[in-house]
Amino acid sequence: MHEMALAESVVSIAEREARRAGAERITSVRLEIGALSHVVPEAMRFAFSAVSRGSLAEGARLDILRVPGRAWCHDCGREIEISALGDACPACGGYSVQVTGGQEMRVKDLEVA
Protein backbone atom coordinates (compact mmCIF):
# COMPACT_ATOMS: atom_id res chain seq x y z
CA MET A 1 0.00 0.00 0.00
CA HIS A 2 0.86 3.57 -0.24
CA GLU A 3 3.35 4.50 2.45
CA MET A 4 3.98 7.88 0.81
CA ALA A 5 0.38 8.98 1.33
CA LEU A 6 0.39 7.45 4.82
CA ALA A 7 3.62 9.26 5.73
CA GLU A 8 2.02 12.53 4.59
CA SER A 9 -0.84 11.83 7.01
CA VAL A 10 1.62 11.08 9.81
CA VAL A 11 3.41 14.39 9.26
CA SER A 12 0.17 16.37 9.10
CA ILE A 13 -1.16 14.77 12.30
CA ALA A 14 2.18 15.39 14.05
CA GLU A 15 2.40 19.01 12.89
CA ARG A 16 -1.17 19.75 13.97
CA GLU A 17 -0.57 18.34 17.45
CA ALA A 18 2.81 20.07 17.81
CA ARG A 19 1.33 23.45 16.84
CA ARG A 20 -1.58 22.93 19.20
CA ALA A 21 0.96 22.45 21.98
CA GLY A 22 2.94 25.51 20.92
CA ALA A 23 6.03 23.46 20.06
CA GLU A 24 8.59 24.61 17.53
CA ARG A 25 10.09 21.31 16.55
CA ILE A 26 9.20 17.64 16.56
CA THR A 27 12.13 15.52 17.69
CA SER A 28 10.54 12.08 17.48
CA VAL A 29 7.36 10.39 16.33
CA ARG A 30 6.18 7.02 17.59
CA LEU A 31 3.94 4.83 15.45
CA GLU A 32 2.15 1.65 16.33
CA ILE A 33 2.05 -0.62 13.28
CA GLY A 34 0.34 -4.01 13.28
CA ALA A 35 2.02 -6.92 11.52
CA LEU A 36 -1.22 -7.42 9.53
CA SER A 37 -1.64 -3.75 8.60
CA HIS A 38 -0.96 -2.21 5.19
CA VAL A 39 2.40 -0.77 6.19
CA VAL A 40 5.87 -2.06 5.42
CA PRO A 41 8.00 -0.42 8.16
CA GLU A 42 11.05 0.12 5.95
CA ALA A 43 8.90 1.76 3.28
CA MET A 44 7.34 3.97 5.96
CA ARG A 45 10.78 5.07 7.22
CA PHE A 46 11.88 5.95 3.72
CA ALA A 47 8.65 7.82 2.98
CA PHE A 48 8.69 9.65 6.31
CA SER A 49 12.20 10.98 5.82
CA ALA A 50 11.21 12.17 2.34
CA VAL A 51 7.91 13.87 3.18
CA SER A 52 8.97 15.37 6.54
CA ARG A 53 11.53 17.61 4.82
CA GLY A 54 10.59 21.24 5.32
CA SER A 55 8.04 20.37 8.04
CA LEU A 56 8.23 20.67 11.83
CA ALA A 57 9.14 16.98 11.80
CA GLU A 58 12.22 17.36 9.60
CA GLY A 59 15.00 15.27 11.09
CA ALA A 60 12.68 13.70 13.68
CA ARG A 61 13.41 10.14 14.77
CA LEU A 62 10.73 7.66 13.72
CA ASP A 63 10.10 4.83 16.19
CA ILE A 64 7.90 2.00 14.99
CA LEU A 65 6.36 -0.23 17.61
CA ARG A 66 5.36 -3.52 16.00
CA VAL A 67 2.11 -5.09 17.18
CA PRO A 68 1.94 -8.86 16.53
CA GLY A 69 -0.77 -10.33 14.31
CA ARG A 70 -3.41 -12.10 16.41
CA ALA A 71 -6.04 -14.55 15.24
CA TRP A 72 -8.50 -17.21 16.32
CA CYS A 73 -8.22 -20.69 14.83
CA HIS A 74 -11.65 -22.22 14.23
CA ASP A 75 -10.08 -25.64 13.60
CA CYS A 76 -8.36 -26.08 16.95
CA GLY A 77 -10.08 -23.37 18.96
CA ARG A 78 -6.91 -21.58 19.95
CA GLU A 79 -5.86 -17.98 20.16
CA ILE A 80 -2.81 -17.79 17.87
CA GLU A 81 -0.16 -15.43 16.55
CA ILE A 82 0.39 -15.10 12.78
CA SER A 83 2.85 -12.91 10.90
CA ALA A 84 0.89 -12.45 7.65
CA LEU A 85 -2.63 -12.79 6.27
CA GLY A 86 -3.09 -16.27 4.81
CA ASP A 87 -0.71 -17.93 7.29
CA ALA A 88 -1.68 -21.36 8.58
CA CYS A 89 -2.41 -21.90 12.27
CA PRO A 90 1.00 -22.56 13.90
CA ALA A 91 -0.64 -25.07 16.27
CA CYS A 92 -2.68 -27.27 13.91
CA GLY A 93 -1.75 -26.18 10.37
CA GLY A 94 -5.35 -25.29 9.49
CA TYR A 95 -6.41 -22.25 7.50
CA SER A 96 -9.69 -21.42 9.27
CA VAL A 97 -7.97 -18.47 10.81
CA GLN A 98 -9.83 -15.33 11.76
CA VAL A 99 -7.81 -12.18 12.36
CA THR A 100 -8.53 -10.54 15.72
CA GLY A 101 -5.72 -8.00 16.05
CA GLY A 102 -2.54 -6.55 14.62
CA GLN A 103 -4.07 -4.35 11.91
CA GLU A 104 -3.52 -1.00 13.60
CA MET A 105 -1.70 1.95 12.02
CA ARG A 106 -1.57 4.70 14.64
CA VAL A 107 0.43 7.75 15.57
CA LYS A 108 1.00 6.97 19.25
CA ASP A 109 2.86 10.01 20.53
CA LEU A 110 5.41 12.69 19.73
CA GLU A 111 8.34 14.26 21.42
CA VAL A 112 8.54 17.99 20.80
CA ALA A 113 10.84 20.82 21.77
Partner 1 sequence: MCTTCGCGRAEVTIEGEGHGTPHHHHHHHGDHDHSHGHGPLGAAHAPGLSEARIIEVEENILAANDAAAAHNRAHLEAAGVLALNLVSSPGSGKTTLLARTAQDLKARMPVSVIEGDQQTSNDADRIRAAGVPAVQINTGKGCHLDADMVHRALHGLTLEAGGALFIENVGNLVCPAGFDLGEAAKVVILSVTEGEDKPLKYPDMFAAARLMVLNKADLLPYVPFDVDKCVEYARRINPEIEVLTVSALTGEGLDAWYDWIEARRREAGAGAARQAAG
Q: Which residues bind partner 1 (CB under 8 A)?
A: 1-6, 8-10, 12-14, 17-18, 20-23, 27, 31, 37-38, 40, 43, 46-47, 50, 84-86, 95-99, 104-113
Q: Which does 67 bind (CB under 5 to 8 A by kind): partner 1, Zn ion, none?
A: none
- Residue selected from 51, 73, 110, 112 as contacting Zn ion according to rule CB under 5 A: 73
89 touches, from Zn ion, partner 1, none (C-beta below 5 to 8 Å by class) = Zn ion
Question: Smaller CB distance to partner 1: residue 67 or 99?
Answer: 99
The one-letter amino acid code at 107 reads: V
Question: Could you tell me which stretch among 14-22, 60-68, 91-99, 104-112 binds Zn ion (CB under 5 A)?
Answer: 91-99
DSSP the chain: --HHHHHHHHHHHHHHHHHHTT-S-EEEEEEEEETTSS--HHHHHHHHHHHTTTSTTTT-EEEEEEE-EEEEETTTTEEEEESSTTPPPTTT----EEEEE---EEEEEEEE-
